[in-house]
Amino acid sequence: MKDKLIIFDTTLRDGEQSPGASMTRDEKVRIAKALERLKVDVIEAGFPAASPGDFESVQAVADTIKDSMVCGLARALDRDIDKAGEALKNANASRIHTFIATSPIHMQQKLHMEPEQVIEHAVRAVKRARQYTDNVEFSPEDAGRSEEDFLCRILEAVIDAGATTLNIPDTVGYSVPAQFGATIANLIEKIPNSDKAIFSVHCHNDLGLAVANSLAAVINGARQIECTINGLGERAGNASLEEVVMAVRTRQDYFPCVTGLDTREIVHCSKLVSSITGFPVQPNKAIVGANAFAHESGIHQDGVLKNPETYEIMQAEDVGWTANRMVLGKHSGRNAFKSRMTELGYEFHSESELNDAFFRFKQLADKKHDIFDEDLEALISEVTTPKEEDVIKLISLKAHTETGEVPQASVTLTIAGKEYNGSASGSGSVDASFKAIEGLVKTGADLELYSVNNITTGTDAQGEVTVRLDKAGRIVNGLGADTDIVIASAKAYVNAANKLLSKENKQHPQIADV
Ligand code: KIV
Ligand code: ZN
């Protein structure tokens, strides 16, 4: 019997810390449901002390998810732990993940604490967390740059205090595989009570080594990996779930453990996270990139046709790549639409929400003959769903472009219910549209990113546009989808502007507040 490798997904917490990737409560619940279908063992739903919105999101995930354990992050502070305990109250199975920094630079410069004080805080935090749940994880932040002897001391103390999982974070992505693997082996060997806890790792990808470091840790005794869908996360991201899981599954000759994941759900999760956050997946990304299973050169194709194993180490179907399926069309009725949405994990909260989505589906079906799952996902995500509470609404857009002429755009918006018209010229239709919108909404933000992706193939496909705005360090991603990319772009700009207006202030978990 092989050991179980616990997959701890932190897309909703560390993933969300990626600038511009913040998600609404409903979006988090949708992703959590997709992760539950993927059968991840633990879902880290957020940092409840960050803001009232984050608290509610963790609570909503805890209330909804039945099969995976739901975890909340807390600094080693009483008030953070109480918030996490409260947010997780209704979870079927809950975990509190508490942490404090242990590297000399973090202890001195960030915490202004002596090592002994750090141990005291850690022990106190774990004991307090145990009052809410018997499943407590402790992380010595920046373990990758901490002294091994100090790690041994603090980890021994928190196990005695009741920690059941010890997570070793390479917070700044500094480690390299052989050395990181050796650290895990040393900790397990040197800590006298190490057999009373599961060792976990949480690797950042600053040097592109997050997956390699995580797998080296597994070979050396770690039995939990913390990872995210598409490798989303702070800076260069975290270890990518799909790569970790498929490496372990594909190389069963090498790894001494198995995961319990239903890998056929991977691609769906990847597309969902990409569409909700507006972070596109590069085509050559392992496992979930559009080219990951494509063979172009004749010699490869010939080999694959004769025997797929000549050039394929995994089957595309095993991770959920199927040929785009035409699921619905112009003549599909309300019931067919609703039941496909339910199969995709989406529940409508009211009749009017369903009617609204069905109306948009019909509008799309008039423009686009074949409707794929990806179109449906986009239809219900923020991409095409203006919200009741949106202050700015796009009413109409007219863009004119002609060779040799300066492109022009005219736009009609409502702002807080009042109608405004504006027009502008630009270097292209998108530029002119953005200038016309900005002239009315006056966000004063800088446009940091503009990207367009095809949701499916074909020239009638919907284009999915991401617009990232930065206003004095507040970063938001706006999304828009339409069969016309100028309209998709305008929707994305308006979506970003609405987010700038509504974004609440959050506390970042890794900023000291003691
Ligand atoms: O990278 C890190 O150290 C973290 C901790 C909060 C576990 O995300
Ligand atoms: Zn992290």
pLDDT bucket at 200, cuts 50 / 70 / 90: very high
The model's pLDDT over 459-484, given as tens digits with 9 standing for 90+, comes to 778 888 999 999 988 888 888 989 99
Starting from the CA of residue 141, give the closest ligand: 1
What burial letters (b/e) apply to 120-133, b meaning 16+ CB within 10 Å? ebbbbbbbbbbebb
What's the Cα-to-Cα distance from 507 to each of 46, 48, 408, 415, 481, rounded to whole Å? 12, 10, 42, 29, 31
The model's pLDDT over 74-120, given as tens digits with 9 standing for 90+, comes to 999 999 999 999 999 999 999 999 999 999 999 999 999 999 999 99
Supply the DSSP string of 420-473, one letter for each residue. Answer: EEEEEE-SSHHHHHHHHHHHHH----EEEEEEEEESSSSTTSPEEEEEEEEETT
CATH classification code of 387-501:
3.30.160.270
Q: How far apart are the CA of 377 and the centre of ligand 1, in A?
A: 31
pLDDT of residue 387: 67
pLDDT > 70? residue 505: no
Higher per-residue pLDDT: 390 or 303: 390
Q: Which CATH number fits domain 3-277: 3.20.20.10, 3.30.360.10, 3.40.50.300, 3.20.20.70?
A: 3.20.20.70
Ligand 1 atom 5 nearest Cα = 141
CB 176 within 8 A of CB 209: yes
Q: How far apart are the CA of 101 and the centre of ligand 1, in A?
A: 9
Starting from the CA of residue 102, give the closest ligand: 1
What's the Cα-to-Cα distance from 108 to each of 91, 149, 157, 509, rounded to whole Å? 37, 17, 21, 18
Q: How far apart are the CA of 204 and the centre of ligand 2, in A?
A: 6
Q: How many CA atoms lie within 13 A of 213 on its CB side?
A: 30
Q: What is the dihedral of CA 229, 230, 231, 232, to 10 degrees?
A: -80
Q: Which atom of ligand 1 lies closest to the CA of 13?
A: 8
Phi, psi (rounded to 5 degrees) for 280: -70, 155
pLDDT > 90? residue 211: yes
345: left (phi over 0), alpha (psi -120 to 50) or beta: left
Least confident window among 171-185, 269-283, 431-445: 269-283
Higher per-residue pLDDT: 327 or 185: 185
Residues 226 and 169: their CA atoms lie apart, in Å, by 9
Ligand 1 atom 3 nearest Cα = 171
Starting from the CA of residue 234, give the closest ligand: 2
The model's pLDDT over 7-26, given as tens digits with 9 standing for 90+, comes to 999 999 999 999 888 888 98
Under DSSP, is residue 302 helix (H, G, I), strand (E, B) or coil? helix
Residue 121, H or E segment:
helix 115-130
Place of tokens 């005291």: 120
Starting from the CA of residue 237, give the closest ligand: 2
Domain locations in the chain as residue ranges: 3-277, 292-321, 325-383, 387-501
Q: How far apart are the CA of 243 and the centre of ligand 2, in A?
A: 17
pLDDT > 90? residue 353: no
Supply the DSSP string of 198-234, one letter for each residue. Answer: EEEEEEB-TTS-HHHHHHHHHHTT--EEEEBGGG--S
Share of the chain above pLDDT 90, in %: 69
CB 355 within 8 A of CB 341: no
Please name which of 123, 164, 167 lies closest in space to residue 141, comparing C-alpha atoms.
Answer: 167
Higher per-residue pLDDT: 115 or 514: 115
Q: For ligand 1, which residues put their CB under 6 angstroms from it?
A: 14, 99, 139, 141, 169, 171, 202, 204, 509-510
Q: Which of 145, 170, 202, 511 is the pocket-test mutation for ligand 1 (most atoms within 8 Å of CB)?
A: 202
pLDDT, mean of residues 209-237 = 98
Mean pLDDT of the chain: 91
Share of the chain above pLDDT 70, in %: 94
Starting from the CA of residue 171, give the closest ligand: 1
The model's pLDDT over 109-150, given as tens digits with 9 standing for 90+, comes to 999 999 999 999 999 999 999 999 999 999 999 999 999 999
Residues 112 and 294: their CA atoms lie apart, in Å, by 52
Q: How far apart are the CA of 169 and the centre of ligand 1, in A?
A: 6
Cβ neighbours of residue 83 closer than 8 Å, sequence gap 6 or more: 48, 49, 55, 72, 74
Q: Which atom of ligand 1 lies closest to the CA of 14?
A: 8
Three-state SS string across 379-411, please?
Answer: HHCCCCCCCCCCCEEEEEEEEECCCCCCCEEEE
Q: How far apart are the CA of 237 and the centre of ligand 2, in A?
A: 8
Please name which of 418, 417, 400, 381 lies closest in space to residue 495, comparing C-alpha atoms.
Answer: 381
Cβ neighbours of residue 247 closer than 8 Å, sequence gap 6 or more: 211, 215, 255
Place of tokens 């794929």: 372
Ligand 1 atom 8 nearest Cα = 14
The model's pLDDT over 383-410, given as tens digits with 9 standing for 90+, comes to 455 666 789 999 999 999 999 999 999 9
pLDDT of residue 326: 54
Q: Which atom of ligand 1 lies closest to the CA of 73?
A: 6
Please name which of 283, 453, 293, 265 lies closest in space to residue 375, comparing C-alpha atoms.
Answer: 453
Token pair in block for residue 172: 């700044």
pLDDT > 70? residue 301: no
Question: How many residues does this entry show for the chain?
Answer: 514
pTM of the model: 0.85
Q: How far apart are the CA of 103 and the centre of ligand 1, in A?
A: 13
pLDDT of residue 295: 62
What's the Cα-to-Cα distance from 35 to each of 17, 111, 118, 225, 266, rounded to whole Å? 18, 34, 34, 15, 9
